[in-house]
Structure 1
Amino acid sequence: MVSLATLQTLLFTLGPLLLPRLISYYRTQRASSASSPLPTIPLPHSLKNALHILFISASLSLLLTLPYFSPENILTLTSSRLQTPPDVLFTRLSAMRPNHTLSPADELLRPRLTTLEARTLYLAHGPDTLTNCPFCSAAEPVTYLYYALPGLLTPHLLHLLALGLATSSLIAGKAANRWRNYAAMLGVVLACTEIYMLGTYDHKTNARVLRPEDLTHFHWRVRTLRYLAFALADAAFAGLLYLSGTNRMFGMQVSSAERVEAVMKVMEQARGKMAALGIVKNVVVRDEGLAGRGREYWRREKVVMGEVMDEREVVEGVRNALEGGRVRVEEVERDAGRYAEGIYGGVEMRGDSLGG
């Protein structure tokens, strides 16, 4: 694994660069939230899609950390030392196989583990690289890194795809799209970190280990850390999307241009409805049949309402309401006036718009 000295070097190198930026960004967001707090809103449906994607990605990442989904480590399986002779190692392995017979994969791996150097490379790069690499050589360990790079980058690219979908404006909306660059940067950082760890790891450190429990199974440990990092990154971005989408933190103020655009859309829709209403009214007024049906409807409405208002129960109810003070006519008239003013205020009534 990466030594403590390497971690300290990275911390002292990147810390002074990243820490002030993080503190400044936090203070900016805090001041913005304090000066213009936004009301908390329910989580938008589009962000629910993003959270579902991140939940699936995190769940799969955690699932892949289980030993069942990890490549088999024959040294751990047989509890063997690195110095165990090949015949003894594979005799122990065959005893654990069905029918005490080595599998084809075991037969391919067997000639690759004849030397101590090869076994240290096995712990560093895993069985797939050691078995299938056609150009790798123990004399040039870097060739194993070249072969392992495509397989190493594949899960990172898939994780980047999940982050990209979760922060896409088409799927998750504008509130999630603002975190897209940060998601891409984090995905690249995770990939570069794993490449750096594998490129700087000294596989020969296991050559001096005598007890099986002291061996560093680098390939399996890094694989577990990779998927744990994926799950943590998904959880972190899910939290950011939830906080920003509900305006609990990192809320975005709506710009003046967006407000004007929203108002113009509402006015355009109202104008379209008014125009359609005017067309319908013109058709009704110009058509004798429709106009007659309209007049007949209002004549019948007047007769029916008159009969209703003449009923004894209705008359007594109106009298009781007026006398008991439950209905104040002045307030009703005042509210009706405000309602009418809100509808027609500032509108110039023209004869040609009322029936042509």
Structure 2
Amino acid sequence: MSQTVLSLFSWGTAKSLLLFFGPALLPRAINYYRSLRVQLAHRPPPRPLPSQANHALNVLFGAIVLFLTLSVPINPHAPAPNIFAQTGSRITTPTDVIFARLARYRPDHTLTEYDKLLRSKLTSTAARKVYLRFGPEALVSCQYCDLEDTTSYLLHYLPFNSAVPHLLHLFIIGLVTSASFAGADAARWRTWLTFAAILIAIADFSIMAAFDPLAAASAAVRAGQIPPSSLFHSMNLLRPLTLALFDVVSAALIYISATHRFFYRPPSQADQIEQLVTGAVAALNNVTSKLHGVSVARNAVVRDKTLKARDDWYWRTAVAMEGPGSSGAGAGSIWEDEEVVRAMSRAMNERRGAGRGLDMAQLGVNAGEYVDGITKGLEDASDQAT
């Protein structure tokens, strides 16, 4: 068999395959290498893990712990050990001998009621093949199964032993790659991870449907020289362990892509627009909250007589000093005040000493326009109040 495989995959065959597939695969490999170099050259520095991606990693961590626990043979839901391996029995060992050996591992060396029921079922080679393939529960509990039709045992086995774990795993993958739950960086892996999880489920179903542990065993097992191995117990170990390793890889992909350590993809135009809109909405909400605070403070001032009087006095004074056509002791612009003129002269001299000029006329015009804009309408309101 090995010589046949080596002859099929000789150097000549490999060379022919390279000559056939090389022209199609080589340009794709070169383009992928170039795009990878461009991606690495333009990727931003790593960033902290976003909170949404952290939610996905927390869920995956819980799933990894769950599946690892289910893969341990000592977990509460683990099936009973393979009685052929436990008792050192062969496939041709008489049933009474097998269960006499099994009684040594039971309390008080007495078989349980379940052991006695299993002994009544495990009387033929066909029943032992079912036991090795689908476990003792299918052999004991299935009411509609027939030893001549192994498909009936397969239908009894698949729903709770294979379908439920994979459906739970697909739900977890769908949750941790949801854009609303885990963010866009995790959602980009949704198609790939879902497709890979479905392939694992199909492989599991195919193994259980087509693999015969006795037919695929060695000649020594079929000849009754060594104990047979159990597909049922092997799959109970490998299935959750495979799902746990799958979730480890999924968590690694989400982490390195969410932190921009690898697989960085520049945001699209739609994403940029969404970010701008989100920033604008946040800024508007901030301004709205501040205006609401100002409104609350203003209402508090207006409702208090003392604060209202001081507020009115302040704005009447400002309007009298800055308003056009004002007269009286306080008439004139604040920019004409002697103390203000001296301060502005000192500032101008300092800027000139530093080699920079100060346009006093333009500064006065800009300041006057600003004050007029801020106090516009206050003079009329003051006149109406008087």
Please report the TM-score for the alignment, with normalisation by the length of structure 1.
0.71
1:41 and 2:47 aligned = yes
CA offsets, 1:26-83, max 9 Å, x none?
A: 6587256235312311112222222122112112212222222331211111111111
- Aligned residue for 1:102, secondary structure, equals coil
The answer on whether the counterparts of 1:61 and 1:230 sit within 8 Å (CA) in structure 2 is: yes
Distance in 2 of aligned mates of 1:115 and 1:58: 40
1:88 and 2:104 aligned = no
- 2:320: which partner in 1? none
Structure 1 residue 227 displacement after superposition = 1.4
Structure 1 residue 172 displacement after superposition = 2.3
The counterpart of 1:78, out of the listed 71, 83, 87, is: 87
| RMSD between superposed Cα atoms in Å | 3.9
Unaligned 5+ segments in structure 1 are: 9-15, 298-326, 335-343
What residue identity is the alignment partner of 1:195?
F
Structure 1 residue 166 displacement after superposition = 2.4
- Aligned residue for 2:195, secondary structure, equals helix
- 1:249: which partner in 2? 262
Distance in 2 of aligned mates of 1:230 and 1:163: 11
Distance in 1 of aligned mates of 2:192 and 2:212: 32
What residue identity is the alignment partner of 2:186?
A
Say if 1:184 and 1:352 are closer, same or farther in 2 by CA, change over 3 A. Answer: farther
The counterpart of 2:238, out of the listed 218, 225, 248, is: 225
Distance in 2 of aligned mates of 1:129 and 1:24: 53
Structure 1 residue 253 displacement after superposition = 2.8
The counterpart of 1:189, out of the listed 196, 199, 204, is: 199
The counterpart of 1:176, out of the listed 174, 179, 186, is: 186
- 1:125: which partner in 2? 134
Distance in 2 of aligned mates of 1:204 and 1:284: 88
Structure 1 residue 294 displacement after superposition = 5.7
Structure 1 residue 221 displacement after superposition = 1.4
Structure 1 residue 270 displacement after superposition = 4.8
The answer on whether the counterparts of 1:278 and 1:353 sit within 8 Å (CA) in structure 2 is: no
Structure 1 residue 271 displacement after superposition = 4.1
Q: Which moved more, 1:234-243 or 1:199-208?
A: 199-208
The answer on whether the counterparts of 2:173 and 2:193 sit within 8 Å (CA) in structure 1 is: yes
Say if 1:225 and 1:353 are closer, same or farther in 2 by CA, change over 3 A. Answer: farther
Distance in 2 of aligned mates of 1:43 and 1:145: 45
Say if 1:24 and 1:196 are closer, same or farther in 2 by CA, change over 3 A. Answer: farther
Distance in 2 of aligned mates of 1:165 and 1:193: 23
1:208 and 2:212 aligned = no
The answer on whether the counterparts of 1:121 and 1:203 sit within 8 Å (CA) in structure 2 is: no
The answer on whether the counterparts of 2:174 and 2:190 sit within 8 Å (CA) in structure 1 is: yes
- Aligned residue for 2:240, secondary structure, equals helix
Structure 1 residue 242 displacement after superposition = 0.7
The answer on whether the counterparts of 1:117 and 1:204 sit within 8 Å (CA) in structure 2 is: no
Q: Which moved more, 1:30-39 or 1:81-90?
A: 30-39
Distance in 2 of aligned mates of 1:111 and 1:274: 81
Distance in 2 of aligned mates of 1:81 and 1:173: 55
The answer on whether the counterparts of 1:278 and 1:354 sit within 8 Å (CA) in structure 2 is: no
Distance in 1 of aligned mates of 2:237 and 2:203: 14
- 2:116: which partner in 1? 107
Structure 1 residue 233 displacement after superposition = 0.6
Say if 1:64 and 1:281 are closer, same or farther in 2 by CA, change over 3 A. Answer: closer
- 2:279: which partner in 1? 263
Say if 1:138 and 1:289 are closer, same or farther in 2 by CA, change over 3 A. Answer: same
Say if 1:258 and 1:353 are closer, same or farther in 2 by CA, change over 3 A. Answer: farther
Q: How does 1:1-356 map to 2 (within 5 A)?
A: 30=36, 33-34=39-40, 36-69=42-75, 70-72=78-80, 73-151=82-160, 152-205=162-215, 206=217, 208-213=222-227, 215-254=228-267, 255-273=271-289, 275-276=291-292, 279=295, 289-293=306-310, 350=373
Distance in 1 of aligned mates of 2:263 and 2:199: 23
The answer on whether the counterparts of 1:47 and 1:172 sit within 8 Å (CA) in structure 2 is: yes
- Aligned residue for 1:137, secondary structure, equals coil
Distance in 1 of aligned mates of 2:272 and 2:295: 34
Structure 1 residue 187 displacement after superposition = 2.1
Say if 1:101 and 1:31 are closer, same or farther in 2 by CA, change over 3 A. Answer: same
Say if 1:62 and 1:138 are closer, same or farther in 2 by CA, change over 3 A. Answer: same
Among all aligned residue pairs of Structure 1 and Structure 2, give the percentage whose two residues are the same amino acid.
30
Structure 1 residue 212 displacement after superposition = 2.8
The answer on whether the counterparts of 2:53 and 2:186 sit within 8 Å (CA) in structure 1 is: yes
Aligned length: 299
Q: Which moved more, 1:234-243 or 1:130-139?
A: 130-139
Please report the TM-score for the alignment, with normalisation by the length of structure 2.
0.66
CA offsets, 1:147-194, max 9 Å, x none?
A: 111022111112222223322334323322232333322221111111
Distance in 2 of aligned mates of 1:244 and 1:293: 60
Structure 1 residue 295 displacement after superposition = 8.9
Say if 1:349 and 1:148 are closer, same or farther in 2 by CA, change over 3 A. Answer: farther
Unaligned 5+ segments in structure 2 are: 9-20, 315-349, 358-366, 382-386
CA offsets, 1:250-284, max 9 Å, x none?
A: 23433331232133214423542564466468658
